[in-house]
């Protein structure tokens, strides 16, 4: 596997605070290649021999805006078994519904654009359903839960110029923890 030449923007970059644009179809060759590169990068970042060799921080999601491209696209690469992955390519997502139950990631959320330790909890929906388009422009729906629901919400926030650190209460980083379930 060859490490793709992609540059992930740091949180200081103002582009991350912009709202991404609706994607039109058909996708360009360049957009398709960026999707493939993002999937390869995320996959390699979760495999020990690659993240050690290339000094990568493990990540499971990447939005186009993190690459400086303001398009409503994100990819998620979920390790479902040892070095076996399921890829989600999500274009023009819209939330249809969500659970009332809130969850948070116990060890804290991370982000490939936030290169520092962040303390606090990020309230997320335990389950949600979104509509989106696939790479061919077909309309789809998906229901996600638990960690994948968190990942989808994290990436959808990116598309709206929001970073996970914005959702942590500055004065009380563990605010309302007792009202949510830890995952």
- In a domain, residue 170? The reply is yes
| Residue 8, domain member (yes or no) | no
Q: For residue 71, give the DSSP letter.
A: B
Element (H, E) at 130: strand 127-133
**HSE (CB half, 13 Å, CA atoms) of 34?**
21
Among 177, 159, 76, 63, CA closest to 119:
177
pLDDT at 2: 93
- b (16+ CB within 10 A) / e for 29-58: eebeebbebbbbbbbbbbbeebeeeeebee
Catalytically annotated residue among 78, 107, 109, 155: 155
pLDDT in tens, 53-62: 999 999 999 9
Which structural domain range is residue 55 located in?
14-182
d(CA 155, CA 99): 18
pLDDT band at 171 (very low <50, low <70, confident <90, very high): very high
To the question of pTM greater than 0.85 for the whole model, the response is yes
Q: Give the number of domains in the chain.
A: 1
Structure tokens at 106: 């116990």
Structural domain includes residue 175: yes
Active site annotation includes 155: yes
CA 74 – CA 61 distance, rounded (Å): 7
- In this structure, is residue 145 part of a structural domain? yes
Domain assignment present for residue 91? The answer is: yes
Residue 9 falls inside a structural domain = no
- 79 within domain boundaries: yes
Beta-strand relationship, 61-63 and 73-81: antiparallel
- CATH number, domain containing residue 72: 3.90.45.10
Express each pLDDT in 108-158 by its tens digit: 999 999 999 999 999 999 999 999 999 999 999 999 999 999 999 999 999
Average pLDDT over residues 175-183: 95
What pLDDT, on the 0 to 100 scale, is given for residue 79?
Answer: 95
- Tens of pLDDT, residues 32-84: 999 999 999 999 999 999 999 999 999 999 999 999 999 999 999 999 999 89
Whether residue 68 is contained in a domain is answered as yes
């Amino acid at each position: 596997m060859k490490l793709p030449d992609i540059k992930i923007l740091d949180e200081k970059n103002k582009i991350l605070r912009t709202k991404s644009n609706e994607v039109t179809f058909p996708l360009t060759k360049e957009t398709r290649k960026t999707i493939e590169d993002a999937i390869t990068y995320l996959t390699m970042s979760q495999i020990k021999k690659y993240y050690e060799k290339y000094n990568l921080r493990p990540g499971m999601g990447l939005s186009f805006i993190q690459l400086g491209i303001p398009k409503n696209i994100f990819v998620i690469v979920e390790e479902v078994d040892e070095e076996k992955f399921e890829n989600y390519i999500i274009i023009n997502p819209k939330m249809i519904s969500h659970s009332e139950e809130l969850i948070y990631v116990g060890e804290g959320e991370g982000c490939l654009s936030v290169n520092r330790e962040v303390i606090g909890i990020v309230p997320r929906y335990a389950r949600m359903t979104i509509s989106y388009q696939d790479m061919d422009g077909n309309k789809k729906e998906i229901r996600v839960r638990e960690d994948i629901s968190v990942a989808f919400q994290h990436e959808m926030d990116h598309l709206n110029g929001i970073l996970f650190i914005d959702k942590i209460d500055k004065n009380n980083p563990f605010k309302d923890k007792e009202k949510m379930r830890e995952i």
